[in-house]
Amino acid sequence: MWEYTEKVMEHFLHPKNVGEIEDADAVGEVGSMQCGDLLKLYLKIKNGKIVDAKFKTFGCASAIASASALTELIKGKTLEEAAKITNKDIAEFLGGLPDMKLHCSVMGEEALEAALKDYYKKLGKEFKKTRYMVCHCFGLTNEDIINCIKKYNLKTVDEVGEKCKAGTSCGKCKGEIQKILADVNKTIKEISREEKNGKVDILRQ
């Protein structure tokens, strides 16, 4: 049995903003019935601000609570403000989630991103996020992993897993972690080389 906070139970038993917005300006759908989790998010947007948000979901208590929390977090916010909301914000709003249920808050972030992409696509624009989810099991983004690599000077995927858990559950993200490692270490080497060359030039002067 999972140990849930009072706020998780509140949003599970009495979820906010359940339903559908018929004339929604944006819709984001993630998950699938096959895997057991599905979330559909509806947004009503006016003058660049989210004036209403509703959801339909199929899933566990954490999935329902996370979706409910998400709608409460984004209502009244500008699109720019909403775009900055992460799965961690959702989990913190709920007073925390069990580690193995963090993917439910991740699904909330992904549904929001899908809805924003849908909205901007209708405007003929592209919605881009430099921050994206890598380890869905533990809710870790590329920024989380990059910061961990730099902080501890990590060189391997196993080292990343030891320090921040990324890739230690289902393992599906190990390939992406390897790419991030390569990019970060390549950048560090290039900066080091440039600094070294700069020092040499100064000495020559």
The CATH number of residue 113's host domain is 3.90.1010.10
> How confident is the prediction for the chain on average, in pLDDT?
89
Same-domain check for residues 91 and 182: no
Residue 20, class by beta-carbon neighbours within 10 Å (0-12 exposed, 13-18 middle, 19+ buried)?
A: exposed
Same-domain check for residues 83 and 118: yes
- Across 96-106, average pLDDT: 86
Q: Does residue 119 have a pLDDT over 70?
A: yes
Same-domain check for residues 8 and 96: yes
Same-domain check for residues 2 and 36: yes
d(CA 68, CA 49): 19
Our count of domains for the chain comes to: 2
Question: Of 104, 135, 137, 148, which one is the catalytic site residue?
Answer: 104
Same-domain check for residues 125 and 146: no
d(CA 141, CA 181): 13
Q: Which residue has the higher pLDDT, 44 or 99?
A: 44
Same-domain check for residues 107 and 197: no
What are the angstrom distances between the C-alpha of 44 and each of 29, 39, 125?
15, 17, 18
Same-domain check for residues 121 and 136: no
Q: Does residue 199 have a pLDDT over 60?
A: no
The predicted model scores a pTM of: 0.70
> Using DSSP, how many helices (H) and how many strands (E) does the chain show?
8, 5
Same-domain check for residues 62 and 142: no
- Of the residues 82, 113, 129, the one at which a domain ends: 129
- Of the residues 97, 129, 161, the one at which a domain ends: 129
What's the pLDDT at 191? Answer: 73
- Tracing tokens 């909403």 back to the chain, one arrives at 82
Weakest-pLDDT range from 76-85, 96-105, 117-126, 188-197: 188-197
What's the pLDDT at 200? Answer: 45
* E-state strands within 72-147: 133-135, 140-141
Residue from 18, 3, 5, 26 nearest 68 by CA: 18
Q: Does residue 202 have a pLDDT over 80?
A: no
Weakest-pLDDT range from 40-49, 96-105, 141-150: 96-105
Query: Is 35 a residue of the active site?
Result: yes
Same-domain check for residues 107 and 16: yes
Query: Is 164 a residue of the active site?
Result: no
Same-domain check for residues 143 and 76: no
Q: Which residue has the higher pLDDT, 86 or 8?
A: 8
- Look up the CATH number of the domain holding residue 162: 1.10.10.1100
Q: Which residue has the higher pLDDT, 155 or 129?
A: 155
Residue 115, class by beta-carbon neighbours within 10 Å (0-12 exposed, 13-18 middle, 19+ buried)?
A: buried
Same-domain check for residues 90 and 65: yes
145 — pLDDT class (breaks 50, 70, 90) = very high
Three-state DSSP at 68 gives helix
Question: Which structural domain range is residue 100 located in?
Answer: 1-129
- Of the residues 92, 109, 129, the one at which a domain ends: 129
What's the pLDDT at 203? Answer: 44
Chain segment 33-58, per-residue pLDDT in tens: 655 679 999 999 999 999 999 999 98
Weakest-pLDDT range from 92-101, 182-191, 194-203: 194-203
Weakest-pLDDT range from 22-31, 81-90, 194-203: 194-203
